Structure 1
Amino acid sequence: MREYSDKNSDSFARFMHLRKDSTHEIQVSRNAYVHAFEYDNGQATCTIRFKFGSNENYKANETKQCLEEAFKVLTNNNFTFRTVSDSENFKKSREFDNYIANVNATKYEDLKPHILAMSDEIIRVSLQECNVDQLYLSFQTASSYQLEDLEAVIKHLLKIFRGHITCFRQITFLDLSQTLDFYREFYSVEAIDLAMMKAIELSEGIDSNFSEIVKIISLKSNDGRVFKSDLNTDAILVTGEKKIVKTYEEIQNDEEDFSQDN
């Protein structure tokens, strides 16, 4: 249970079909990197979070133009994308971290407990009454061969963001932990059904083993129609495997004859 309760665990990543062993680190400046991640099918994905700040008409027009250019870049490169908006959690913001750092650095030790109590109340009210949204832009390659295009697309998007004075106070490319947290919130995954996960893994293993032992060559319906597969029966005979040609009714008759003999 402990393994599945952690949203950053291998199990949660596997539940979301993300490969934790295949993280692409893209250098966008001398000391800055952006991370992209692969799904099980080889497609790569990246998610950007936009936090809103001050706004007025000029910034609003610049923001609209900025997003339109970003969407055009993704579309021209045949990337699939979606936008998601939700309420910002002030407790997870950079401003909150700076605020707490300033509180802890205060020289007035007698006032620190009261300041912390006020901070807790501010956070509580913010979580209940906050009407400030944040925007996510999640995009992915349409196929695995586009992985080489991902770096060029990300750098092009960064160039667009830097070329506009928008209403966004913070633009962040999510790391793995933040990406899994975003998926958790978006899909409302509060808990993973352990029994279902194990059953799926077991069924996949059984199907794989069964397909190696039994090959269906043809099926005969009740009305006499025969449905044949594309398997090469000559190749099956060469390997020494047996071909079962009896119908279901013939098998039932054999079982009845066997019971009568006994």
Structure 2
Amino acid sequence: MIESWFRGTRWISRASVAIALALSIALAGCGDSVPPSSNLPIGSQRAVTHVVAPGETVYHIATEYGVSVGRLMAANGLTDPRELRVGQVLTIPGAYRGASIGTASSGVHPYTGERASRQFQWPVQNGVVSSGFGIRNGAMHDGVDIAAPVGTPVYAADTGVVIFSGMLHGYGNTVIIRHDASYATVYAHNQRNLVSEGARVACGQQIGEIGRSGRTTGANLHFEVRRDNVAQNPLAYLPEPATSDGISFAAAGGS
């Protein structure tokens, strides 16, 4: 049982600690077989820029785009975060805009963040990314929401061990899978969880069904990637869907 619910961007679980200590060898997953694309800009290679708005900080902007504060400051010649000025145009390091996926007016722009060498597979085969990672309505959104009809299968994004399967406040029916000593993924708002705590799951194995449990405005999967218990931008860890795939991007919404 989770001892304390998600606090900020961190979660604590007795089960996760016990399993982490028991796993002396990292679990091998199909995500590791995906060639890293961290050095391959997406689309037309137009650098992403951001105009600083009132009230924004370096930390908030870095979080929104999934880059580190240090890289953001270095890319823009900032030596002190207090140097940030309203109206200043910042270049987002390692981020490029492409036009291959989604609509021009999309509120969840695909792949504007820094690409990770560690890759997972999409947890849903058909769905719409309705809300992205970062600050949303003044609060941190720790994952992405993938909207799909109730009952749509939810799949494990990689091989791992289920360290939690049950209800979480706000998250509803939730499954958490630890993949190795560093990485875990979170699958929330499920209609049903199909795996139990302690179970070993394969990459691509069905672990649940999309639902509306917890605090949500519609049927969707809330999906998180956590490294050392810190939430990361999931799009940096997921392959870019081909135009024939069932994943698309839409205006912001979701849970």
- TM-score interval (norm. to shorter): under 0.3
| Greater helix proportion | 1
Larger Rg: 1
- For CA contacts below 8 A with separation 6 or more, give which structure has more relative contact order: 1
Normalising to structure 1: TM-score of the pair? 0.21
| Greater strand proportion | 2
Normalising to structure 2: TM-score of the pair? 0.22
